[in-house]
Amino acid sequence: MADEARKVEIGFDGGQVLSARLTDDQLGRARDALRDPKGWHDLETDEGVLSLDLGKVVFVRAAGASHTIGFSGK
C-alpha cells in the first residue's frame, strides 16, 4: 500500500505558517534536514517543491493518522 500523505504545518519565525500534504517519508526527510538547520532545503511534496530556509523554521506540526469516511475494510 502506498504511503498516504497527511497534513503538515510548518511555522516560521515571524508567525507565518505553511500547510502541505506530506508522506511519512517526506516528513522524515524534512525533520532530518532540520537537525542541522543551515541554509535552504528543497522539500518535495504532493503539490510540488517547497524551498525552505531552515534557519527560519520554528515548528513542524503533523496531523495524526488520516481520517476515513464511511466503512473501512477492517
The pLDDT mean for the chain works out to 86
Domains belonging to the chain, first-starting first, are 6-62 (2.30.30)
Strands 40-44 and 17-22: unpaired
CA angle 1, 64, 59 (to 5 degrees): 120
CB neighbourhood size of 26 (10 A)? 20
In the predicted model, is pLDDT for residue 1 greater than 50? no
Residue that wins the pLDDT comparison between 56 and 74: 56
Give the Cβ contact number of residue 10 at 10 Å.
22
**Distance of alpha carbon 43 from alpha carbon 4, whole angstroms:** 16
- The pLDDT tens digits of the residues spanning 8-38 come to 999 999 999 999 999 999 999 999 999 988 8
State the Cα–Cα distance between residues 62 and 7, nearest whole angstrom: 6
